[in-house]
């Protein structure tokens, strides 16, 4: 997902998933401008803080920031993507245990490998790329 036309921290924090490469591009574009309103200055400051926290962890390679409200769904999809369970309900390989898993507990377990970061008052989870 590419972030386009973001001019405030509030707009940035409305995204479910944010890729650090999009943040790199956004910051570059904002820094090229000469005059910034208050919201843009706040956004630039926040982007620099995020970069500072994450730049040694794959900042330019693509860190995914997953919004807290989407975390459990992300973890469910991750379990399927890596082959822990089959979520293809229409296919022949569906594992009925998929419906019996406590996905909130799985999401809590997954948080051990991720860090939390506040972006515009919204919590996102991320890990090194």
Tell which residue, 18, 22, 23, has the closest CA to residue 49. 23
CA 117 – CA 105 distance, rounded (Å): 21
Q: Which of the four pLDDT bands, split at 50, 70 and 90, describes residue 123? A: very high
What value does the mean pLDDT take over residues 8-15? Answer: 92
- 93 lies in which domain range? 9-126
Q: Which of the four pLDDT bands, split at 50, 70 and 90, describes residue 121? A: very high
Number of compact structural domains in the chain: 1
100 falls within a domain: yes
97 falls within a domain: yes
Residue 1 has pLDDT above 60, yes or no: no
What value does the mean pLDDT take over residues 117-126? Answer: 96
CA 21 – CA 62 distance, rounded (Å): 5
Tell which residue, 56, 78, 76, 74, has the closest CA to residue 65. 74
> How does pLDDT run across 94-116, given as a tens digit for each residue?
777 888 899 999 999 999 999 99
- 81 φψ region: left (φ > 0), alpha (ψ -120 to 50), beta (else): alpha
Kindly state the tokens that stand for 67.
């919004």
């Amino acid at each position: 997902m590419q972030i386009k036309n973001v001019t405030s921290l509030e707009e940035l924090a409305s995204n479910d998933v944010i890729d650090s490469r999009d943040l790199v591009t956004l910051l570059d574009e904002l820094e090229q401008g000469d005059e910034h309103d208050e919201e843009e200055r706040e956004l630039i400051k926040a982007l620099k803080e995020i970069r500072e926290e994450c730049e040694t962890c794959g900042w330019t390679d693509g860190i995914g920031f997953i919004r807290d409200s989407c975390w459990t769904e992300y973890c469910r999809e991750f379990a399927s993507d890596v082959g822990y369970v089959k979520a293809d309900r229409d296919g022949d390989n569906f594992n009925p245990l998929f419906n019996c898993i406590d996905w909130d507990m799985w999401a809590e377990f997954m948080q051990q490998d991720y860090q939390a970061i506040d972006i515009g008052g919204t919590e996102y989870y991320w890990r090194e790329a």
